[in-house]
Amino acid sequence: MIAAPAARAWPGPRRRLARASAAAGLIVPLSLLVLWQMGAHRGWITPQILPAPDAVWAAAADLWDSGDLQANIAVSLRRVAEGGAAGTLAGLLLGAAMGLSPAIEDYLKPTFLALAQVPSLALIPLLMMLLGIGEALKLVVIAKATLVPVALNTHRGIRAVPADYKEVGALFRFSRAQTLRRIVLPAAAPPIFTGLRYGLSHAWLALVAVELLASTEGLGYLLVWGRQMFQLDTVLVAMAAIAAIGLALDRSLAFGEARFARWRAPA
Amino acid sequence: MPLQGGVIAISGLVKRFRVDGAELTALGGVDLWIAPGEFLTVVGASGCGKSTLLRLIAGLEHADAGVLSHDGAPIAGPSLARGLVFQEPRLFPWLTVAQNVAVGLENAPLSRAEKALAVAEHLTLVGLSAFARAWPHQLSGGMAQRVAIARGLVNRPDVLLLDEPFGALDMLTRARLQDELRAIQQRAGATTVFVTHDVDEAAYLGDRVVVLAPRPGRIREIVDVKLPARRDRADPRLAGVRERVLRALGEDPGYPRPALVADAAWRRPATLAPAAVLQ
Ligand SMILES: Nc1ncnc2c1ncn2[C@@H]1O[C@H](COP(=O)(O)OP(=O)(O)OP(=O)(O)O)[C@@H](O)[C@H]1O
Ligand SMILES: [Mg+2]
């Protein structure tokens, strides 16, 4: 017998590669930052249009010390958590129902596809009339934004489970429940996870949009407020916070996805 | 040998497929009686219905006409008493090698410990116990096929159906697994239907060799091997079996003729063949 393999999924060289490519990705933003700082200090850009990075940093420190930043982040995160959870749950149920039952697919798919075509932003005016501008509006918009990609990917993932695999189950007399749990679910898990990732990032985008249009708190509101007060440093702090949190949310799900699907061949 | 199950009776078996609106007769009237504990090998040109025949016996397809029965009971669907090794490995990529073999035991009436033991035994049998925790994507094609063989055997079915199981293996592994399979088959007394493209393999393993003819798939000839169960690859009588199988295949213009058959009896019908092959 030849040497036993290490059954580890991600061998060393790939990790090193990932780190190298992450470093490469930092070159552009760091150069821009340096250019921005230089431009601001040499008077190329007026602070009324674009405050210098150190001014933005100072504004961030002020916002942090006053607790405003944390409070607004907490509001935004809570909204995403609530709306996202509702949308994810509904999306998983809807996608699974359409994926597993052709009859349900026939009934619901056209309506669902039509809804999917309407940008979440475009729903806001109508929903404002129905729900007012309270928390319900934000929840519904975020939930809708999450639901669409989750349902779509769940549906497609279940549909794409190879018939060959189900035949193996049939051969060993798997019950319907066994086929679902042992074959359909694991085979569809990677696309479903992809759907969850899209769902979360859509939820975050929808959150900022709805907070821009109709809110008195949250990161989107901070953005609007900063603009109205001509505090561009506040605007930039809010933007940076939105980007950083969005990225962190996506990365954490990507990490979970990689751990979850460790059986997959390195692409 | 004790009285045992594993009789497969097939009569008037017809299977059609619709391909692009046209009807294709994959099997056009097959009659076959397979004795308990018999090792039957099946050869025939690509597309003549070998896999279809196995899938019908397994219960994965339904016949359009005719009857299939296993120990007298009509075959209406898959059964754990009939094991099938597919032409492709069909391993689940999300399960390790050992877990893939255990899939075969999901509905077997065994305890956890018994299942673990059976899985380990069968992995050893196919020479992959060191790879029990590897993922399928880390295996070579031949290794994956061996895992599939272990999964097909792990239930110890009365009837074992194998669809070109050794096609992806190197010669040495292939020879070893041929002998292993014969030994298991002798020990367990499982009725075995073994599809192959390799005439040597068909002759060496089979108690009888079924030669299928294509379009529509039907039995052209059944060659009785009449050799003892313990065989020697160098047995000159095997050459005679091979020759008869090749001659039966040779009547089928779709089957590639081997270049080196130094036998006058083989040459005679071949006057027709070269042109037919080139068509
Ligand atoms: N599910 C199917 N749908 C349509 N046609 C099919 C299907 N399965 C098999 N066929 C057709 O039936 C015929 C026999 O196929 P089969 O797979 O049994 O051949 P085979 O003898 O196993 O060939 P090979 O040696 O290449 O594996 C072929 O013409 C094939 O196109
Ligand atoms: Mg085949």
pLDDT tens by residue, B70-92 = 998 999 999 999 999 998 999 99
CA B266–ligand 2 middle distance (angstroms): 27
Nearest CA to ligand 1 atom 16: B49
- The reply to whether B58 touches chain A by the CB within 8 Å rule is yes
Q: Which pLDDT band holds residue B256 (cuts at 50, 70, 90)?
A: low
Is the model's pLDDT at B268 over the cut of 70?
no
Nearest to B103 among A7, A172, A265 (CB): A172
According to DSSP, the residues that pair with B30 across neighbouring strands are: B13
All residues of chain A having their beta carbon less than 8 Å from the beta carbon of residue B137 are 263-265
Q: Which of B9, B2, B156, B155 has its CA nearest to residue B71?
A: B9
Residue with tokens 């293996």: B169
Mapped onto helix, strand or coil, the DSSP state of residue B206 is coil
Decide if B223 contacts B14 (C-beta within 8 A).
no
B205 vs B208: CA distance, rounded Å: 9
Check if the beta carbon of residue B218 is closer than 8 Å to that of residue B32: no
Three-state secondary structure along A227-250? HHCCCHHHHHHHHHHHHHHHHHHH
Report the SS3 class of residue B94.
Answer: coil
- The answer to whether the beta carbons of residues B92 and B100 sit under 8 Å apart is yes
Q: How far is CA B248 from CA B199, B210, B235, in A?
A: 11, 10, 21
B172: which chain A residues are within 8 Å (Cβ-Cβ)? Answer: none
Nearest CB among A1, A174, A189 relative to B127 is that of A1
Give the distance from CA B172 to its chain's centroid.
Answer: 19
Say how far apart CA A121 and CA A142 lie, in whole Å: 10
Window from A11-20, A235-244, A251-260, B162-171 with minimum mean pLDDT: A11-20
Residue nearest to atom 28 of ligand 1 (CA): B47
Buried b or exposed e, range B243-276, using 16+ CB within 10 angstroms: bbbbbbbbebbbbebeeebeeeebeeeeeebeee
d(CA A52, CA A40): 5
Residues enclosing ligand 1, CB less than 6 A? B 17, 19, 24, 26, 44, 46-52, 87
pLDDT in tens, A100-127: 999 999 999 999 999 889 888 888 888 8
The residue of chain B with its CA nearest to that of A263 is B94
**B43 in helix, strand or coil?**
strand
Radius of gyration, CA atoms only, chain B: 19
Of the candidates B43, B6, B152, B20, the residue with the CA atom closest to the CA atom of residue A171: B152
Structure tokens at A188: 């569809």
ipTM of the complex: 0.83
The answer to whether B16 and B42 have CB atoms below 8 angstroms apart is no
Confidence of residue B162 (pLDDT cuts 50, 70, 90): very high
Parallel, antiparallel or unpaired: strands B65-70 and B8-19: antiparallel
Query: With contact defined as beta carbons under 8 Å apart, do A203 and A84 qualify?
Result: yes
Q: Which of B16, B18, B20, B24 to mutate to test the pocket of ligand 1 (most atoms within 8 A of CB)?
A: B24
Q: Do A264 and B137 touch (CB under 8 A)?
A: yes
Kindly give the residue spans of alpha helices, DSSP state H, lying in B137-235. 141-153, 171-188, 199-205
Does pTM top 0.95 for this prediction?
Answer: no
User: How far B241 CA lies from chain A's nearest CA (Å)?
Assistant: 34
- The reply to whether residue A164 touches residue B93, judged by beta carbons under 8 angstroms, is no
Average pLDDT in the B197-210 region? 90
pLDDT digits (tens, 9 = 90+) for A206-217: 998 888 888 888
Q: Whose CA is nearest to atom 26 of ligand 1?
A: B46
Q: Give chain A positions within 8 Å (CB) of B84.
A: 171
Residue bearing tokens 């071949």: B270
Looking at beta carbons, which residues of chain B come within 8 Å of A263?
A: 93-96, 135-137
Of the pLDDT bands very low, low, confident and very high (cuts 50, 70, 90), residue B185 is confident
Return the sign of the alpha-carbon dihedral for residues B198, B200, B202, B205. negative
Using N-to-C axis directions, what is the helix angle for A120-131 and A185-213, rounded to 10°?
60
For A247, the 3-state DSSP assignment is: helix
CB contact B94 to A (< 8 Å): yes
pLDDT greater at residue B227 or residue A24: A24
The domains of chain B, with CATH numbers, are 8-81+157-267 (3.40.50.300)
- Cα–Cα distance measured from residue B34 to residue B10, given in angstroms and rounded to the nearest whole number: 8
Interface size, chain A vs chain B, as Cβ–Cβ contacts under 8 Å: 71
**Residue B14's closest CA among B171, B218, B151?**
B218
Output the pLDDT for position A266: 61
